[in-house]
Each structure stands twice: as structure tokens, then as C-alpha cells.
Structure 1
């Protein structure tokens, strides 16, 4: 057996959460060479690299897989926000099992499915970390009533704003998975508003990052940070800029790279124009043969994997679901979401196998 001594430098797993509009995304944008998966479309005013907004849980997983394969092109993968990503997860589970909501499973089974699926997603993010890419999960905060088992009474505290029905399952997973949980809030002071001290008002409002656990919020770090620091990336930059070769600061101007493969016209010569920027790539638009009325969650996957409507119709007809000439837009929405989108890896493999066995 091999014994490994001392510190092991590797990419970090970070959760950043706080109230809306406080600057969570702006802080994440200062991490080494970030690329955003913007699940809620809130980074349009930021000058950052981003992938198209995922329209399904499967598309989000495909995007994470693509970032993992890029090696040292990116230093940080930012998922903004993880609570919106969880909604995609729940929608994907319900569609796959033909349910309208997470409670339709009965006996709490839906929450178990959500926990297991979210756990697999965190394992996928850990694979990205092993590839030398930092992970930053941005989340909103919510105030909940909390009561400790060994104390009398209850009090309010901030927690991750994951699903109202599923947060008790998924929030602990996220906090346990992370190396660092940073809570951002406005630091205010209560001062007396009258001479008797019976009325108070809030003053201050400096944006502050809390790095350690407190009865009023969740936070942690393993780097000896002060309990409170200003909302300034410079105070934590030393943790990430030296975490391994794949995330070292670039010595030349940053380059841009194409997003996950989309169907395009004939390929240009290798030494012609540089690859398109992921936010402006022409490949993000659908080819003419794709009906714009196809559900976006399926249409986005078809574009990403260069799958035509005929490819879908062939495999669907071979499985006996619909006749070959049935338009995709006439498919039952539950079939589209639960079978074609929910089991997209299997559907895509069937398409590839069919094409590989063509006689020409």
C-alpha cells in the first residue's frame, strides 16, 4: 500500500450563497478562467464565457461532461445557480417516471429519487475537480425556522435555497460535498432610535463574506480564513491560484473555445478562422430541418449531438412507439420528456448504432 503524506494540491469545490443581487455571480466570475452554466439566465450582463442555458437535466449533465473533457482550457466551472439546477433534476425525474410532481411518487419515494440523482450529479462534478478544474456552485439563501434538539425554543437561520420539498435531502449533500461554503450577506447593525432604547433601526449594509459556521448560517472553510472578510476575491485568491497546474493563471491573452458540438455547415479548413466564442457561436442555432415547434428540451439535445428529426423518427418507429411518418411535434409530451429526453444517452446510442450499420 502507498502512503501519501502532507498536503495534496487539487482543485476546490466551493459553494457561494446569499440573498439575490448581492454579488454572488460577480464573485464567481473572478475565479481562475471561469466558464458559466447559467441555469437561470442571470449572467447576461457579465463579460464571461458561458454555455447555452440548459433546457433539461440531461443537457446540464452533457455540458458538465463537455467541460470535463476540455482539460486546461478552463480553470473554473460555475453553475449559477444550483437551486435552479435542482429544479431541472426534479423535472427530469418526474418526466422519466411519468409523474406530475415529486409528491406523486408516494411514501417519500420521490425525495429518495431526487437525492440519489443529485448525488450522482455531485459525483460527476467531483470528476471535473479530479481533472483540475475548480467547481463553484452559486445558490440563493432562504430564512428558515430552526430548532436544535438539545435547546429550548427556535430561531431563524439562513440556509441554501434548494427545493421546498427536497432541500432536506439535497442541501446536506451539497454542504458535505463542498470543501468551502461561503455565505454572503449585508452586515447591518441595530442601533437605538430613541432615548429609551425601545425602538431600533438598522444601519450599515457592507457586503460581507462569512466563512465559518454560525447559529444563524451555514459556512465552512479548511484554509484558516477569518470568520468575516469583505466581498473581495483578493481575500481568497491565494487558495485557488496555486491549486495545481491545470488552473494556473495564463501567461498569454485568454482564448475562446467552441461550445459543445452543434450541427454546422461544412467544416472549414483547420487553419482558417479561430473557433467561435461559446456565447456567439453560430452553431447554437438550429439547422433548417428542425421544426422550431419541437420541445426545447429535446431540440437542444438534437442540436448538440447533430441528430436530425429523421434519426428520431427512425428509432421511435423501430421501437414501435409511433409510425415513421409521425411528426415529432405530434408525439405525446410525456413521451418526449420521459423517454426521449429522460433516456437520451440510450436514444443517442441507438441512433449511432443504426447509422453504423447502414450499408453505405
Structure 2
């Protein structure tokens, strides 16, 4: 192995980012990802009958590992891999580890050993996939979480993922975007679907590139246009 002698340039392509899109069921996350050119869906749930896309059904963890092995050969023209949904994929990983060790639940091994095995297996596979020369986009549903503050309890919209594994996915992603409905300027009947990309006390979001506006129309074209046109201002995720 030779160490690098030059700095790598900044990644200025939206298509090659690692992205987590999350939001309510049936708001259009899959539809948005289907707009990305040269995308392969690793479909861990139903719901792709109404999009024109390349879809590889993933019914268990073994299917996912086999798909990753084929993707890693780079004998294809796909530029983006979309895991739809990453929540179901984590369930498949958990089932796989439990079956390997003859247990019903991670807690059956005691002292956090089962959780650690699932975490290690999931992180290993997803990290390896994220390091391939393709973009990695993931989807998840949203949920509301009660947050205790000094002034009382409030709710925050977060991805529907277990806390520790959810944090790994949030840290892995260059962009975390909430897909939602904008009711601020129009009535409910005229509400438009939008994407929120900046941190907020009300929801989880972030843009490591600093290229995206805080609120954008919920289309890949709008995301790509903003990403390519904006001067980067690095942001944190929260």
C-alpha cells in the first residue's frame, strides 16, 4: 500500500453522496430516488410497482450480502445504490445474527453481546458498501420522539431507527433530509412536498457539504440544481 502524495478534491457530485431520506409513509421517498439516473434499488419492502426503476428484491440479509458482492465487482453501470428501506435491512441483519446463534432476540445472549454482534455485522457490511465508487442513498420512515427540556416535553421528528444504529447511519450520511409537507404558505389542500436539510429543534437533518438550501422542492432535479449551484458552507447534522 502506498500512501497518498496529493490531497483528494472535494466531492462535488450529489449523485455520489451518502444520503438518508426519511419521512412519512407514502410521501414519495421512493419516487424521488427513482428520479436519480442510473440507480439500483435494493428493495427490502414492497412499494416499487409504480416507479420505473432497476429493482433488486432483498428478502433477507443473505440476499443483501450477495447483492453487495455483485455491486463490488463494478461490472455494471449503476451510479447509485438505494436501500429502500434501511430500517427493514437492519431487521434482516438482526434475524440473520439471531438465527446464526440459535436465539430469538439479541437480548437472549446477555450482557449486550447479541446487540454487539448485530451492530458489528451491520456496520461492517454498510461501511464496505459506502466505500465503493457509487453513491449510497437510504430511505427510512419518520416517527415522533418525546424530548425532555428544562421547560417541559416537546416532540421531535426523527428517523424510525433504533437509537444506537440510527446514530451510526446519521453519522455515515453526508446528507440527512426530512421529506415533509409545507403548510406554511398555503392551505392544507394546496400543500407542497418539500425537503428540509438543515438542523432544527423540531426534526433531525443535516448537510455536511453545506451546498443545499434549508428547504427545497421534493424532487431530485431541485436537489441537484441547488447542490451544483451553491457555494459550500460546511454544516453540522443534528
Q: Shift of residue 65 of structure 1?
A: 2.0
What's the counterpart of residue 155 of structure 1?
Answer: 154
Task: Indicate if the aligned counterparts of 2:211 and 2:227 stay in contact, CA closer than 8 A.
Answer: no
The CA deviation string for residues 72-111 of structure 1, in whole angstroms up to 9 with x for no partner, is: 5111111110001011011011111111112222233222
Selected match of 2:221 from 221, 234, 248: 234
| Alpha-carbon spacing, 1:102–1:143, altered in 2? closer, same or farther (3 Å) | same
What's the counterpart of residue 173 of structure 2?
Answer: 178
What's the counterpart of residue 232 of structure 2?
Answer: none
Matches within 5 A, 1:1-360: 2-4=5-7, 6-9=9-12, 11-51=16-56, 53-71=57-75, 73-128=77-132, 131=133, 133-147=134-148, 151-162=150-161, 167-189=162-184, 205-221=191-207, 222-238=209-225
Task: Indicate if the aligned counterparts of 1:190 and 1:202 stay in contact, CA closer than 8 A.
Answer: no
CA distance in 2, matches of 1:106, 1:152: 38
| Alpha-carbon spacing, 1:2–1:8, altered in 2? closer, same or farther (3 Å) | farther
Task: Indicate if the aligned counterparts of 1:189 and 1:202 stay in contact, CA closer than 8 A.
Answer: no
Gaps of 5+ in 2: 229-238
Secondary structure of the residue aligned to 1:84 is helix
Q: Shift of residue 6 of structure 1?
A: 4.8
CA distance in 2, matches of 1:119, 1:68: 17
**Aligned length, in residue pairs:** 223
What's the counterpart of residue 325 of structure 1?
Answer: none
CA distance in 2, matches of 1:91, 1:190: 45
Q: TM-score under structure 2 normalisation?
A: 0.84
CA distance in 1, matches of 2:225, 2:128: 26
CA distance in 1, matches of 2:226, 2:42: 23
The CA deviation string for residues 114-150 of structure 1, in whole angstroms up to 9 with x for no partner, is: 222221122122232xx2x1111011111111235xx
Q: Shift of residue 47 of structure 1?
A: 1.2
Please say which of residues 25-34 and 99-108 is displaced more in the overlay: 99-108
| Deviation >4 Å, runs of 4+ | 201-204, 238-241
Task: Indicate if the aligned counterparts of 1:12 and 1:240 stay in contact, CA closer than 8 A.
Answer: no
Secondary structure of the residue aligned to 2:35 is coil
The CA deviation string for residues 242-263 of structure 1, in whole angstroms up to 9 with x for no partner, is: xxxxxxxxxxxxxxxxxxxxxx
Secondary structure of the residue aligned to 2:156 is strand
Q: Shift of residue 239 of structure 1?
A: 7.3
Task: Indicate if the aligned counterparts of 2:18 and 2:174 stay in contact, CA closer than 8 A.
Answer: yes
Higher radius of gyration, 1 or 2: 1
CA distance in 2, matches of 1:47, 1:6: 34
Secondary structure of the residue aligned to 2:97 is helix
Task: Indicate if the aligned counterparts of 1:31 and 1:240 stay in contact, CA closer than 8 A.
Answer: no
| Alpha-carbon spacing, 1:8–1:95, altered in 2? closer, same or farther (3 Å) | same
Gaps of 5+ in 1: 192-200, 242-360
